[in-house]
């Protein structure tokens, strides 16, 4: 006896629902490309893959020693290799010189992304020695659009005759702050805000000075807030750093 068409449709529909249920049960908690990675939301963000010991006082660009460590992380997070080497070098240098600070490379990477997309903003590129070109510059700090008003100090190497200061380099340092905290990290003995090695170590030094113990929520938040006095900025850096801490691209 031929089933009634409506009954046959219901049977086929029931069978289809059963198949879908089995497939759904077998893939619960997974995506087409594997399990979804949960990104932590706490402060401070996680430290990520430990940076190996290197001789941060050696000759030349000491960040080059981190290529083996940085390569797989760069591939999974999208952080340019040279930038990641710079962040790791800065974090390890501060660990050796100021172990009480506890700054992690993920924090530097979070700031580096927000400030300049890791030194690649507007098509800028990072040379093998860490130099970023063309130089990345912020808007004139003329007191408009919520910016500070800072008369030029004449210390911007690319625009010494400007009327107002501008933030400089991949970590967007105000010239006054750079003049106080700027350090050399690429081995040429010339602190340069447009060199991502120098800028990363200077940022690490400034953050440690500002926040003290960055392994605590209070210290980390204070440090990043001093760097940029905005809670939305703090959370943006946290989100990027947290993604990097679990080895994914934000």
Q: What percent of the chain has pLDDT over 70?
A: 84
User: How far, in Å, CA of 95 to CA of 237, rounded?
Assistant: 21
13 has a pLDDT exceeding 80: no
Number of H helices, E strands in the chain: 8, 4
**Residue ranges of domains in the chain:** 48-245
31 has a pLDDT exceeding 50: no
18 has a pLDDT exceeding 60: no
Element (H, E) at 132: strand 132-133
**Do the strands 132-133 and 125-126 form a parallel or antiparallel pair, or are they unpaired?**
antiparallel
Angle between helices 217-227 and 105-116 (to 10 degrees): 30
User: How far, in Å, CA of 174 to CA of 227, rounded?
Assistant: 10
pLDDT of residue 162: 78
Q: Provide CB contacts within 8 A for 151, sequence distance 6+.
A: 163, 164, 165
pLDDT tens, residue by residue, 114-170 = 999 999 999 999 999 999 999 999 998 887 877 778 878 776 767 777 788 899 999
Beta bridge partners of 142: 149
Element (H, E) at 125: strand 125-126
User: How far, in Å, CA of 19 to CA of 117, rounded?
Assistant: 45
């Amino acid at each position: 006896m031929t089933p009634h068409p409506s009954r046959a449709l219901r049977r086929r529909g029931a069978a289809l629902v059963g198949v879908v249920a089995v497939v759904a049960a077998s893939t619960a908690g997974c995506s087409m490309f594997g399990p979804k990675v949960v990104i932590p939301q706490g402060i401070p963000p996680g430290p990520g893959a430990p940076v190996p010991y290197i001789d941060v006082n050696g000759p030349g660009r000491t960040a080059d020693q981190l290529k083996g460590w940085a390569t797989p992380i760069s591939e999974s997070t999208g952080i340019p290799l040279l930038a990641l080497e710079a962040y790791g070098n800065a974090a390890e240098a501060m660990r050796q010189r100021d172990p009480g600070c506890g700054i992690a490379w993920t924090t530097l990477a979070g700031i580096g992304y927000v400030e300049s997309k890791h030194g690649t903003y507007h098509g800028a590129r990072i040379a093998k020695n860490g130099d970023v070109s063309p130089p990345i510059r912020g808007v004139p700090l003329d007191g408009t659009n919520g910016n500070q008003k800072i008369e030029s100090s004449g210390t911007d190497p690319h625009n010494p005759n400007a009327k107002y200061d501008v933030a400089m380099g991949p970590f967007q340092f105000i010239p006054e702050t750079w003049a106080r905290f700027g350090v050399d990290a690429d081995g040429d003995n010339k602190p340069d805000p447009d060199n991502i090695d120098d800028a990363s170590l200077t940022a690490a030094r400034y953050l440690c000075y500002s926040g003290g113990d960055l392994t605590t929520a209070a210290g980390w938040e204070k440090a990043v807030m001093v760097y940029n006095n905005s809670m939305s900025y703090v959370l943006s850096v946290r989100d990027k750093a947290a993604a990097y801490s679990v080895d994914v691209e934000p």
